[in-house]
Amino acid sequence: MNTPTMPAAASETREAGDTLPHLLVLLAAPRGFCAGVDRAIEIVERSLQKYGAPVYVRHEIVHNRYVVDSLKAKGSIFVEELDEVPDGVPVVFSAHGVPKSVPAHAEERGLDYLDATCPLVSKVHRQAERQVEAGRHIIFIGHAGHPEVIGTFGQVPQGDMTLVETVEDVAKLKFEPGTPLAFLTQTTLSVDDTHAMIEALKQRFPDIAGPRGEDICYATSNRQAAVKVLAPQVDMLLVIGGANSSNSLRLVEVAERIGTDARLIQRGDDIDAEMLDGIGTIGLTAGASAPEVLVREVIDHLSRFRAVEERVITTTEENMVFKLPRQLTD
């Protein structure tokens, strides 16, 4: 896989030289790549091995600049629309999922495509189809414009789904009494915010149908839970992730609501000595699309300013693995 294996122990220690002021870094575990991101990146890498460069990728495969640039260096070309993909070359769809119209267009053109949609996102797609087939209008909890939301809306006929982003949006909904309704959610939302919105929906529409299990993915939930444990113990929390990464932004929000100063960073050089003024303990985590190599880079960068002592705080173990598309395993 693309990420170094996490040590099984609950803590590990590394101390730098004695001449620098001490800094305790509490590392969240789990952190970084989830199974869906691992799978998506492996799909692109195996496609390059099987078909040769270039392999086109529609949209960023995951929301992380380091990952995207690394795949570009290996021969991937990232585009926003299929119209930018020439005939006769393979194309990969991103982990966020795509509307049904996208693979249909690819088939019309005779393009070979590989779908890297996270299986947990695909599960939401199937739920959406079933709810519409049952005659229900779907209220979808998510962030407008996010690729996952666009992909999920594209699974059902236009007009069969309404987006809400806040509890206030729920209060503004206008449906006739007796309208059959269902709700679904984006997989990378705030666990607490989503729970509040679901409760608001159930209060307004007591008969609303919902999924049997949580739509928010295991990795999003686990990383937020880890931050809730870590944040009260530190002076500052650093979250490694892209500015367009929904799950990474939620980690910052979780810490801030606890009252901990939290910063979203992308690389080690986003940190300077001034940022560490008055800081004795830092929490460090990474969004689900940030590779472990960036965690090590941040630790190394911190070591320029402080004598770093690391401790890993483990809140749960993850062992989820998703299968690759059949085209890459035959």
Q: Measured between alpha carbons, how far is residue 211 from residues 27, 136, 216, 225, 230 in Å?
A: 33, 13, 11, 22, 30
Q: Measured between alpha carbons, how far is residue 43 from residues 91, 152, 296 in Å?
A: 11, 21, 25
Angle 17-294-29 (CA atoms, 0-180°, nearest 5)?
85
Q: Which of 52, 114, 90 is nearest to 328 (CA)?
A: 114
Answer for the pair 219, 318: CB distance below 8 angstroms, yes or no. yes
Q: Which of 84, 76, 60, 26 is nearest to 260 (CA)?
A: 26
Q: Is 234 left (phi over 0), alpha (psi -120 to 50) or beta?
A: beta
Alpha-carbon torsion 230, 231, 237, 239, what sign? positive
Residues 1 and 326: their CA atoms lie apart, in Å, by 18
Active site residue 60: no
Q: Which residue has the tokens 């999924």?
A: 211
CB atoms within 10 A of CB 282: 25
Alpha-carbon torsion 129, 133, 134, 136, what sign? positive
**Strand stretches in 69-224, DSSP E:** 76-79, 91-93, 113-115, 137-141, 161-164, 181-185
Q: Which of 13, 8, 32 is nearest to 24 (CA)?
A: 13
Which residue in the list 45, 148, 309, 317 is annotated as catalytic?
Answer: 148
Answer for the pair 41, 2: CB distance below 8 angstroms, yes or no. yes
- Residues carrying an active site annotation: 148
